[in-house]
């Protein structure tokens, strides 16, 4: 009787250890998934900061210069397109929607670059303290976006590696965890931009 009880308790102990191991792996994947969501929220935060600064920059520029209408309209149009896409964690699981989001943000960055280059032609505007402050904030925001994208890609890499390795991939599959999308450079980003006056 004692031998049977010891074998039974040993089996129950092994089962409990396996369950605890699986729960530990599952909890780690949840932490990594939340890390991806947190990094994504920081990217969104920086995009929102940029969206808040653009109207101020445009109004300041309009107040000091009567410059190329197409440049200003390009910024306004790109901002409008960028605000049409709803940002949500589900966007990370939809490659097409994610690429579309990246594309609209890239168009906005391009339009802002054209605006800042055009402004170089207006010395009075460049000397205006309000404009200089807004320009500095916008440039800082673009840098912050770049840093947050890099951080996001690092967090996604860690998450994706974890859910794809054995034996974690079995628990990730059981929990319904899927690979997340990385930020990628837009087509042609490897070529330097042409600045023409």
Q: What is the pLDDT of residue 17?
A: 93
Q: What is the pTM of this model?
A: 0.58
Domains and CATH numbers, the chain: 34-175 (1.20.1440.20)
Q: What is the pLDDT of residue 146?
A: 82
Q: What is the mean pLDDT of each run of 10 residues along the chain (197 residues)?
A: 84 92 90 87 78 71 56 62 62 74 74 64 56 74 82 90 90 89 69 48
Q: Give the DSSP H or E segment for 95.
A: helix 95-119
Q: What is the pLDDT of residue 129?
A: 67
The Cβ of residue 189 has, within 10 Å, a number of other Cβ atoms equal to: 10
Q: What is the pLDDT of residue 185?
A: 66
Q: Burial, 163: exposed, middle or buried (Cβ in 10 Å; 0-12, 13-18, 19+)?
A: buried
Q: What is the pLDDT of residue 110?
A: 72
């Amino acid at each position: 009787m004692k031998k049977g009880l010891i074998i039974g308790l040993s089996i129950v102990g092994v089962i409990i250890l396996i369950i605890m191991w699986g729960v530990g792996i599952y909890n780690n994947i949840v932490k990594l998934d939340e890390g991806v969501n947190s990094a994504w929220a920081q990217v969104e935060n920086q995009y929102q900061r940029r969206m808040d600064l653009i109207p101020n920059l445009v109004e300041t520029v309009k107040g000091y210069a009567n410059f190329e209408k197409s440049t200003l309209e390009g910024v306004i149009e790109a901002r409008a397109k960028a605000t049409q896409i709803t940002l949500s964690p589900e966007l990370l699981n939809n490659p097409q929607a994610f690429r579309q989001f990246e594309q609209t943000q890239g168009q906005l960055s391009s339009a802002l670059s054209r605006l800042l280059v055009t402004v170089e032609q207006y010395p009075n505007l460049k000397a205006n303290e309000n404009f200089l402050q807004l320009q500095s904030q916008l440039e800082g925001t673009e840098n912050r976006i770049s840093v947050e994208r890099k951080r996001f890609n690092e967090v996604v890499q860690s998450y994706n590696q974890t859910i794809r390795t054995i034996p974690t991939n079995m628990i990730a599959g059981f929990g319904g965890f899927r690979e997340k999308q990385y930020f990628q450079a837009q087509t042609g980003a490897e070529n330097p931009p042409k600045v023409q006056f």
